Structure 1
Amino acid sequence: MNISNFFQECVNTITDSRPILYQPSMDIQEGEILVKGKTFGRWEAKKFIIDNEKRVFATMSSKEKQNLKPYFLQEYQVENKEKKKDKTTFDLISKTGGKCITLGIENEQKANEIIRILQDLCKKVEEKQKQEEKIQKNIQEKINKQNYYNIIDQIDYDIPSFFDITEIRDSIAQIRKSQLNLENFKLIFENKLLIYRNEHNHHQFKVFSEFDSNCKDDIIQNLTDYNKINLWNAFINTQESRMIKELHEDKSFLILEIRELSNIFIFKREFQYLQHHLKIDNIEFIVQKQIDQKSLTKNYQGSLKYGVWGIQTSEKSTKVYYFSEQFMQGLSYPDEDSYLIQLFLNQIINVNQRSKRNIQNNQKNKQDETIFQYQQQNQNQDQQLIESIKSDNNEKFFDCEELDAMNDKLFIVQNDSTQNIIKDEVSRNVYEQNARRMTAQPLQMDDTLDNVRDWVDKKMKLVLSGDYNSCSINVKHQLYPKESDIQHRQLLTQQEGGHYIFKKDFIREEKNGGLKVINEEKLAAQKAVIKFLLTRIGASLMMGKSITSVSMPVSIFEARSNTERVCNSMGFAPIYLENAAQSQDIYYRIKQCAAFQFGFIFMYLSCEKPFNPILGETFQGFYDNCPIYCEQISHHPPICAIQMFGRQYRIDAQLELIANFNSNSVVGRNIGTLKITFENPHQVVLITLAPGSLNGTTYGDKVMNYLEKQFIIDIKNKIITEVTFNPDKKYCQFFDIEYQNQLDYLCGAICDVTDAAIQKFHKEGYRKYKGLDLKQDIKNIKHKIKGIWVNEIKIDNEKLISIHNDFPVKMQLAQYPIPSDANFRMDLLWWKLKDFDQSQQWKEKLEILQRQDRKLREQKGKKKK
């Protein structure tokens, strides 16, 4: 008899007085016992069975040997043990109101043994019953909890529709559930404050802190009392925070916040966002969300995509949660934005500390003293944050106190080598100012610009004096790739608060295809430049001459030299080429090279012009611990040489940047080849790049597209990949690919070609090569390529690369670049300071010096002849 049948018998016994046929298990004890009758009180001898397995005590009269009267011990307990004359008696008392039974045994020792056994069995049954009740209770609690979570997920609270977005909704739900969902989040700072950063989105953070007192009211007041703005300003070093407008309809407030992060090289940031206060389940929530509003100050505009504060309190503690995604608009190295957000979040701990101190000190002089003390404390905490970031082997963040916000890594040196740099008065002044910035109170903002100018000037003198040379020469530069954790690669998913390629500059032009420029500020600057060029240069520029020699105004430039921009375009190499290198299939390698080729032109996209490199200018960086180096090896024509050392592959390239101006368009080309050399087995692949065009430079919408063809050539294996942008119908029909009348449509194929096709490429070279003769050069079409390049490109109807779903690896800058590095250029530094007049002056100075250098080289060359 199994357990379920046994319990069914138990139910039957309770509801049916008829005796049942009981089948005992093997684990039983048998014997004889006296049972006291209820009618006449006589004792009658009966046989008994104690079934240990089923927890049953049963009696059976000698006449009815087949029928047992079972007593299921889950319903009984042993009581009233007594010694009466010649026998020991005890009762089995029902706990459910059923029949009771009085038992007796003449042998006292045997009676005690049976009583002990029955008591143990009753106790076990009781424990089992409690355990089952506990299980049922837990199940019910889970059901109730799940029902509660379902209610949470269904949004059982009122919130203005403006704030009802997925990120805010999920943040509130996680805090209410105490399920903080830290998957893909990494702890990056711990010091009375826990800061977690999303490994896939370095702008998204979760912050936790717990205080040893009930200070909820103080914290809420600091976050919502817009009439006492001095409190919040002191907490997080904001220069200003004020309410601009109250929205009575949804009880929200429009906030202007100016952040200042205690460093003369980190400029102020302006944030405008709506804020709303609500209470749910005794948890105070303050939700914030960015609002599109024109800037009210001249500061850089940051973006608070969303922020959710949760304040939960008990008698002895207060828990504070802050979930946020925001953009500080870092200007220099790729992870500066992430670093600045961490620096800001690190100061949240002062919300409570500053509140307590403010209550204790009401006098203004004491309050000022306290603010100063906490600024000092913030500096110490910032330093701890920096050290914790530096200790992360997977990421290279640079200390802005030591390096400044332009990413000029001049003064990171070991203690034992510091004295080697302090050689002259200029160096000594620079070092002393750097030390003062690291130890003293931050400088006032009214003299910040003067300090920046002074600092830039002295720093460049230090480089030009040669003192930095000894520091950079002693650094052992990395020439080979190091190990990497593919699962934790840093991917570039966003830039400037938008898509990593589109940013906030482009949208797809749906009617005809291509990328339409929508950034009004940049459009206005470019229109002004066109007028400037037309008046300054005249009609001769309309003849298609190169504009790389024209002194263009810096207002249309971006904060990069072309050496950096070219290197920044290699972000897909570790993803596709490393994958290709692990394969033995030569065609699979070419497919991956095609994905890298498209990734390169994606990454090179920009509606702004890069600074023209100076002859001898260099750039150094890393992709996933793979070094990349670039040098401008020719001024006219402007050619840069690039080397990247990947895992089982290497990239060597020489690219000449040419830009031609027409009446209503600009066409830019990177002429040259990228040579990719794979190991095991050895395979060499040559890649050329399609030119890009920007139409609408003088009138109409500005739309960017790619033109003509690009190629991948494997000379040894006689394979050529040809892709044509905006192909005609006849071309598509040859490859049996459907035609689409869109400017951003492309198609082509990977083909086995004839010897004559390879010889034609050798003869014409990459400058003149026009592509395959479809009737004579192709022996076999191996794989077909098609797609909309601003969306997704497919090979054999399977995804090759998607501009929306595939992301490049972030580039990290070298820590000790040589002094010719592009980031040491004065015109670039002044551009980053937004002083375009100084930037323009330095740019023209450098152009004059370069032209003079060119003349000297030409004269020297004539003498040699």
Structure 2
Amino acid sequence: MDLRSTVYLPSKQISEGEIQVKGKTLGRWKTKKFIIDEDQRIFALKSSQAKKKLKPFYLQYYKLDIREKKKDKISFDLISKAGGKSVTLGIQNEQQANLIINLLQKLITKEEPIQKQSQEESLLKSQIEQPMENTQNLAYEKIDYEIPCFFDTSEIRENISQIRRGQQRLEKFQVVQKEQAFTIYKNVDNHHQFVTFIEFVGDCCDLIVQNLSDNNKINQWNPYVSQTESMVVKELAEDKSFQICEIRQLTNLFVFKREFQYLRHHLKIDNIDFIVQKQIDQRPKTKCYQGSLKYGLWSIQYKNNVTKVCYATEQSLQGLSYPDEDSYLIQMFLQQIQNINKQYVQKTIKQDPPINSVEIPQINKAIIQEQQVQGGEPQIQKQQPDQQQLPPQIKVVQQSQKQNQEEDDQFFDCEEEDAIDEMNDKLFIVETVDNKQLIQDEVVKDVYEQNARRQSILPIQIDTQDNNEQDWVDKKMKLVLSGGYCSLSINVKHQLQPKEKGQNRQFLTSQEGGHYIFKKDFIREEKNGGLKVINEEKLAAQKAVIKFLITRIGASLLMGKSITGISMPVSIFEARSNTERVCSSLGFAPIYLEEAALSQDIYYRIKQCAAFQFGFIFMYISCEKPFNPILGETFQGFYDNCPIYCEQISHHPPICAIQLYGRSYKIEGQLELVANFHSNSVVGRNVGTFKITFENPHQEILLTFAPGSLNGTTYGDKVLNYLEKQFIIDLKNKIILETTFNPDKKYCQYFEVEYVNQLDYLCGAICDVTDTAILRYQKEGFRKYKGLDLKNDVKQVKHKIKGIWINEIKVDNQKLISIQHDYPVKMQLAQFPIPSDATFRMDLLWWKLRNFDQSQQWKEKLEILQRQDRKLREQKSKKKK
């Protein structure tokens, strides 16, 4: 129930003013008048429309959440606790914002008189029955300290409370890095959330606080933070906070420079120094990609001759395929916390005995011991070969590597194209003995010796999704960052057979905060049927394409160049190549085809294949264009421990080959992506077939897919629908399933199915057909085959199909598949894919980093190389003739 729908009459105690409200559809801010009724605990907005008077929010049913500070504006949310509508509010004047937020927070947390009395009685009773320590813990839950409202979030508040009590809750955390007096914990449910503990002998609180809060040298303790580019952008005198622009200079194929902008505030509570950090949404100060620091909380306290430092944070470098890969890079950054006071530590280590472990509260020691007994704590160990067993040359290489790592001078500047090429050479270089004379550069020589050594010491590994090695991400990222990944990936024995079915199958239920197919991009067009595009941001990007193309065409004509080489702008693309998009569309295979493989009924198998066929075209839907695959590009993944492989085997025409090894079934297919552009529409289809082979009994079934049409490309609403027909054919058993999208009345009457005048309506049937129908398909092939001759080809109609494909499809009035209630299996990426994998493409990586200029440059560069390669192949073929 929407709690604002009830009638509201203002009371006497009213505060009035103006406030900005953020629109839910377009995200625009609009100034509105408001009143706060302190007597009835109501916040109400005055509508600009004459008919609507007040929109009340009953504060007892809401909670307050501070969002961000953007362009000198503090924004916050009133979030409904009863399922009603929420609202985002903003105020530019910080002093006024603090007053209103504090007033709203007071009214939200205000208790009724009877409830308040019972609460006081229970508190008095607890003080009598419980020890004084527990009573103090209740006080820690309250906000009894001064902190700017911008930092008053649930995460920061909870961590401050835990640190004050000395009881850090780590039930959902596991150890990912443990050294002497230094430990990093990662949340198993949130790969971006970490808690780090470190201890120093003696009292060095002031020195550490100075290291962390010195405005002249931002994060001078961390070599990964650029001291020259980082800066204090602004000092906020009102709340004594500082706006920081921090540049982290980890650079590699996966790790470009990142810019973090956040506010920092220093406060002291109970002799504990707290330094709070929270991300702000501002325009970038540099050309670097934007990282995300949701929050960070430093605590520094001195106790029992030990200075204890804790850093709780949730942050992301973004842009990587696996969350674990991102979390590993964050872990690398957190390891540098040991350098907070390096000179002081070196002195104390000589004078005082080392600390064996970080002091963890007793409640957590039991948890950690239980994890160790159950094997739940993964120990990340660095594989270092015995120095005495290695040749002297390798010892020298290792010493030089260690020295270079300490000096921190092996970073490349990814802003320049030459540097990116050098970086790629370091990552993917694979030399042999014959190539040794080509090695001149010292860096390349070191990389060569690293790769040669790894090939001799790395065992053959199996790339399976159920791999018990929990540190595979650790190994992968170390190899990527050191330049030895290629040596490992080409020696990996990839999985070619499905493994046993896992106990917990993971389903894809949502994407990008919406339905797993529709996301926040589509809604059903109720009047005529189909999927209507509603994402305003993506629509605006697609409209800008016309201007982009006109500019490019004009420039090409003036320079005397051909317009055939004009590249489409990456702003209308998605962060996937078509090889990945095709593989991502097979999520219903384990659900329907595994059941089909268990049955011996050939018609039941065809029904299940139909459900998979519909699932494929559902999952392939997107209002954005995929990147065109490069010849030889590959993709590897898993569905419920069933491996899937894809390779682009032809550039022109663009054809990819797919193989999926399922349980008692196998999918083999070749699909050519074809698109036809019209004045106000585009029609695209995957031309080709999937062959599904079942065992026990043996049965081969061919699938073709219907084309999709997107109308409104230049004017009007953009609406997506499927057209024409798609087929399932069993040549041996002479069975054809024909499905027609948007059929006419005559077609529906033949199968005795009711006619529905909707563009997204479909119907068809599974039919026993004549020899003539089979021969005609074999003669015409999947490209020219138009379907059944209903008068002459059909011997018997076995099962009828109908439905609205956006909602539900039925066979003989029984549900076959429903978009709303049936979910596909999540696809998992391969752990160690070969370097030709689509996830390593530079234009895709730059796109994921939201640097569209670099992505566009790399896309055009790869397209030019591919056209040149095509010419060379054509010349070679002519010579052979």
Q: TM-score surpassing 0.5? A: yes
Matches within 5 A, 1:202-281: 202-229=191-218, 231-234=220-223, 240-248=229-237, 252-261=241-250, 266-277=255-266
Change (3 A) 1:650 1:343: farther
Alpha-carbon offset, residue 634 of structure 1: 3.1
- Could you give the per-residue CA deviations for residues 486-533 of structure 1, whole angstroms, max 9, x where no partner exists? 4688999999x9889899x96446887335261699659745542246
Q: Which residue of 2 aligns with 1:641?
A: 657
| Cα distance in structure 2, aligned partners of 1:307 and 1:710 | 55
Look up the equivalent residue of 2:532 and give its one-letter code. G
| Cα distance in structure 1, aligned partners of 2:195 and 2:606 | 41
Identity %: 40
Alpha-carbon offset, residue 453 of structure 1: 3.0
Q: Which residue of 1 aligns with 2:104?
A: none
Q: Which residue of 1 aligns with 2:73?
A: none
Q: Which residue of 1 aligns with 2:676?
A: 660
Alpha-carbon offset, residue 252 of structure 1: 4.2
- Residue 188 (1) aligns with residue 176 (2): yes
Q: Which residue of 2 aligns with 1:809?
A: 827
2:174/2:187 contact within 8 Å kept? yes
Q: Which residue of 1 aligns with 2:722?
A: 707
- Residue 840 (1) aligns with residue 868 (2): no
Q: Which residue of 2 aligns with 1:569?
A: 584
Q: Which residue of 1 aligns with 2:685?
A: 669
Matches within 5 A, 1:196-595: 196-229=185-218, 231-234=220-223, 240-248=229-237, 252-261=241-250, 266-277=255-266, 284-311=273-300, 314-330=303-319, 335-351=324-340, 353-354=341-342, 356=344, 441-443=408-410, 449=416, 450-456=418-424, 475=491, 477-481=493-497, 483=499, 486=502, 507-508=521-522, 513-514=532-533, 516=535, 518=537, 526-532=545-551, 534-535=553-554, 550-552=565-567, 555=570, 562=577, 564-566=579-581, 568-569=583-584, 572=587, 576=591, 580=595, 584=599, 594=611
Q: Which residue of 2 aligns with 1:857?
A: 877
| Cα distance in structure 2, aligned partners of 1:575 and 1:682 | 18
2:508/2:823 contact within 8 Å kept? no
Look up the equivalent residue of 2:247 and give its one-letter code. I
* Partner SS state of residue 675, structure 1: strand
| Cα distance in structure 1, aligned partners of 2:752 and 2:312 | 52
- Out of 604, 611, 617, the position equivalent to 2:628 is 611
Look up the equivalent residue of 1:610 and give its one-letter code. F
Alpha-carbon offset, residue 268 of structure 1: 0.8
Look up the equivalent residue of 1:303 and give its one-letter code. S
Change (3 A) 1:208 1:466: same
Alpha-carbon offset, residue 690 of structure 1: 5.0
- Could you give the per-residue CA deviations for residues 397-445 of structure 1, whole angstroms, max 9, x where no partner exists? 999xx9xxxxxxxxx9999xx99xx9xxxxxxx9999999768642466
- Could you give the per-residue CA deviations for residues 72-127 of structure 1, whole angstroms, max 9, x where no partner exists? xxxxxxxxxxxxxxxxxxxxxxxxxxxxxxxxxxxxxxxxxxxxxxxxxxxxxxxx
Change (3 A) 1:179 1:722: farther
Alpha-carbon offset, residue 808 of structure 1: 2.2
- Could you give the per-residue CA deviations for residues 453-486 of structure 1, whole angstroms, max 9, x where no partner exists? 3454688886899969997998364252464794
Change (3 A) 1:634 1:181: same
Change (3 A) 1:441 1:227: closer
* Partner SS state of residue 220, structure 2: helix
* Partner SS state of residue 513, structure 1: strand
- Could you give the per-residue CA deviations for residues 747-786 of structure 1, whole angstroms, max 9, x where no partner exists? 6579654547985977875445678999988644579665
* Partner SS state of residue 231, structure 1: coil
| Cα distance in structure 2, aligned partners of 1:265 and 1:711 | 41
Change (3 A) 1:578 1:781: closer
2:761/2:802 contact within 8 Å kept? no
1:557/1:611 contact within 8 Å kept? no
Change (3 A) 1:601 1:432: farther
Segments of 5+ residues of structure 2 without an aligned counterpart are 1-124, 349-374, 436-450, 456-486, 526-530, 558-562
More deviation in 643-652 or 200-209?
200-209
* Partner SS state of residue 229, structure 1: coil
| Cα distance in structure 2, aligned partners of 1:301 and 1:659 | 35
Segments of 5+ residues of structure 1 without an aligned counterpart are 1-135, 361-391, 403-411, 423-429, 539-546, 790-794
When Rg is computed on C-alpha atoms for both structures, the one with the higher figure is 1
| Cα distance in structure 2, aligned partners of 1:279 and 1:798 | 63
Matches within 5 A, 1:87-166: 140-141=129-130, 145=134, 160=148, 162-163=150-151, 165=153
For this pair of structures, how many residues does the alignment match? 654
Alpha-carbon offset, residue 591 of structure 1: 5.6
Look up the equivalent residue of 1:660 and give its one-letter code. N
More deviation in 295-304 or 825-834?
825-834
Q: Which residue of 1 aligns with 2:101?
A: none
2:251/2:411 contact within 8 Å kept? no
| Cα distance in structure 2, aligned partners of 1:643 and 1:141 | 65
Change (3 A) 1:804 1:326: farther
| Cα distance in structure 2, aligned partners of 1:171 and 1:721 | 61
1:195/1:205 contact within 8 Å kept? yes
| Cα distance in structure 2, aligned partners of 1:590 and 1:156 | 65
| Cα distance in structure 2, aligned partners of 1:749 and 1:680 | 31
1:258/1:270 contact within 8 Å kept? yes
| Cα distance in structure 2, aligned partners of 1:294 and 1:736 | 58
2:610/2:728 contact within 8 Å kept? no
- Could you give the per-residue CA deviations for residues 649-678 of structure 1, whole angstroms, max 9, x where no partner exists? 422111101123333554433222333444
Look up the equivalent residue of 1:306 and give its one-letter code. Y
Alpha-carbon offset, residue 639 of structure 1: 1.3
Normalising by structure 1, we get a TM-score of 0.58
More deviation in 230-239 or 251-260?
230-239
Normalising by structure 2, we get a TM-score of 0.57
